[in-house]
Chains A and B, each alone.
Chain A
């Protein structure tokens, strides 16, 4: 297994355009997270899925953001009508939840979005 994969690694877009990012988690992992990280800050929670169900979405997330995990495997994060404030590193992580303990998450290398 190659770990969590994110695509693209870098994206430059003009303000107002839509962008979509993809995340492929570790194959047997049933939970998938999206976080956003800006320079000098820790990762900020966006949303997470258990299999295909979206269990929580951050209140900080505007309606321009949407995420899906249609078959409980890969996930996409779409940002509509991008703004300069959306410029950040978008991190995806996955974990295997068995209910026994709070397990660790494995992170991808991230997608760096720059809105110009």
Chain B
């Protein structure tokens, strides 16, 4: 069945450091891939998405490229800020069905 695996956290970085959060997936069909972000006490907010292989999703300085050959969708940001501290979830959706989420990666950015 469909599933998402993402790196365990927490990830602790200093401000302006480079961020990578790894995400790999298993899916039937042709999934769309998503990154969601969750701030404390809040629901999930869509950060970026990619709907087909080789697409790059980007938003607020974050990027992720849909790599079909490696079944990956790693999240990157060149220079993190304290305000980026949150939990990040990788997700997939295929065949117009439900979403599958990874277990989340907590990011702590220190000033």
Contacting chain A: which of B61-69, B77-85, B96-104? B96-104
Compute how far the CA of A101 lies from the CA of B32 in the bound complex, rounded to whole angstroms.
8
Of the four ranges (under 10, 10 to 19, 20 to 34, 35 or more), the interface on chain A belongs to: 20 to 34
Q: Is A91 among interface residues, defined by CB-CB distance under 8 A?
A: yes
Q: B33 — nearest CB in chain A belongs to which residue?
A: A102
Is there a chain B Cβ closer than 8 Å to A105's Cβ?
A: yes
A residues near B51, Cβ cutoff 8 Å: 101-102
Query: Range of interface residues on chain B?
Result: 20 to 34
Count of A-B contacts with CB under 8 A?
60
Cβ of B98 and Cβ of A45 under 8 Å apart? yes
List B residues 32-68 near A (Cβ within 8 Å): 32, 34, 36, 41-46, 49, 51
The stretch among A11-19, A69-77, A80-88, A107-115 that forms the contact with chain B is A107-115
User: Is residue A21 within 8 Å, beta carbon to beta carbon, of the partner chain?
Assistant: no
Are the CB atoms of B101 and A102 closer together than 8 Å?
Answer: no
Chain B interface (Cβ < 8 Å from any Cβ of A): 4, 31-32, 34, 36, 41-46, 49, 51, 89, 93-104
What would 14 A/B residue contacts be, using CB atoms closer than 8 Å? A35-B99, A40-B103, A40-B104, A42-B89, A42-B101, A43-B44, A44-B101, A48-B98, A93-B44, A97-B96, A102-B95, A105-B46, A107-B44, A110-B43
What 9 new A-B contacts, CB under 8 Å, besides A6-B43, A109-B43?
A35-B101, A42-B102, A43-B44, A91-B44, A102-B32, A102-B96, A104-B46, A107-B43, A107-B44
